[in-house]
Amino acid sequence: MKKNVCRLLLTAALLFLLAACGTEPEPALTPAATAPLPTEQAESIVALETPTPSASRAPAPTLPPTPIPTPSPTPLVEGDPVITLVGGEEYAYTADFTFSDPGYYAVDWRGNSLTDRVKVTGEVVSYLVGSYDLTYSVTDDDGRTTTLVRHVSVVPAELPEIVMPPEKTVYLTFDDGPCGNTAALLDVLKKYDAKATFFVIGNKTRTDMITRAHEEGHSIGVHTYTHVYKTVYKSEEAFFDDFLKTQEVIKAATGSYTRLFRFPGGSANTVSRFNKGIMTRLTKIMEDMGYRYFDWNVTGGDSAAGATTDSIRKRIITGLKNHSDFAIVLQHDIHMNSVRAVESILKWGTEHGYTFRALDLTSPVVHSKVAN
């Protein structure tokens, strides 16, 4: 009997426990968990969730900016001066008339500027494609020296690709002007809606003709300032000086520089032989610097003694027939006989399907074989 009572009590206790476990209510949410989050915190949480591609979802708000930690002040550490090279230690420079250093600065370990004390040695030949070293050296008040080397690569300028024009394209070119004859020439070109190219000499007075030619759609190229062979072919630097002076004249007359030019005497001249190899060097250098030179494949022979308007016209028309792909024609507007031949050339050309265009950087070139 006693045993049964115990078993009953035990069973009852077990049942009670089971019932209590099964019905136990979830713990009530604490006020802290159910209260709305402060706006900023809520936004942070939303933004940090993995975005789901749901159309109904509002776009994730932008994260507030991350505060930048304030660096603890770096204690000054005694050491060598520091040189910083603007543009870096490996520096590519497009070939040009002059080289301009991209700059540098130097400080000692106390933070004082030493830039004024930096010594730069070495040379960059700005117009010659190649590799050069410049050495930068500075010594601080304590006698500590830092030296850095900059490797400069002079690289060729990029020129636009040449585009072959349609057949029977003629590029009339007029050298050694501008002059009093140029106006009549421009009139006749206008009458036939023909474009041409003027390789001008910088020291001529009729620069108004350069302006007019430019405004009427013709191209302007450099033919040097003096055209004096002994002057322009004396050295590379002498050629550049002369060339750049002409560029200034052209800029003043047209508002911009040109990248077209023709060597006095052409690139195959022998008049420059007093300076051995100058044409071989200049023809490469000028193209490396982004200028394009043009010789010719047709000439009127207008500089020859005894040249007449008729001889010039005949010679050019024969030339055009022989160069039906494209022709670059050499004439000089300083010779009135040559200017007089232009109308009949334009008339014949127009009737025979030729078009007269101005040269540009995409025009085909004619380069004669360099003879010096």
DSSP per residue over 181-196, as a string?
THHHHHHHHHHTT--E
Cβ neighbours of residue 325 under 8 Å, at least 6 residues apart?
A: 164, 167, 169
| Token pair in block for residue 339 | 């200017």
Residue of this chain nearest to Zn ion (CB atom): 175
- Angle among Cα 126, 130, 135 to the nearest 5 degrees reads 70
Classify residue 313 by burial, with Cβ atoms within 10 Å: 0-12, 13-18, 19+: buried
**Smallest distance from Zn ion to CB 223, Å:** 5
| Token pair in block for residue 199 | 């390789």
For Zn ion, the closer of residues 227 and 313 by Cβ is 227
- Angle among Cα 219, 220, 223 to the nearest 5 degrees reads 140
Q: By CB under 5 A, tell whether 140 contacts Zn ion.
A: no
Query: What track of x and - describes contact with Zn ion for positions 229 through 258 (by CB under 5 A)?
Result: ------------------------------
Residues 159-218 that bind Zn ion (CB under 5 A): 175-176
* Cα gap 143→90, rounded to integer Å: 28
* Cα gap 282→183, rounded to integer Å: 33
Per CB under 5 A, the segment of 51-59, 109-117, 264-272, 357-365 that binds Zn ion is: 264-272
* Cα gap 180→317, rounded to integer Å: 25
* Cα gap 360→237, rounded to integer Å: 26
Residue 364: which of 208, 163, 133 has the closest Cα? 163
Active site residues: 175, 332
Q: Where on the chain is the footprint of Zn ion (CB under 5 A)?
A: 175-176, 264
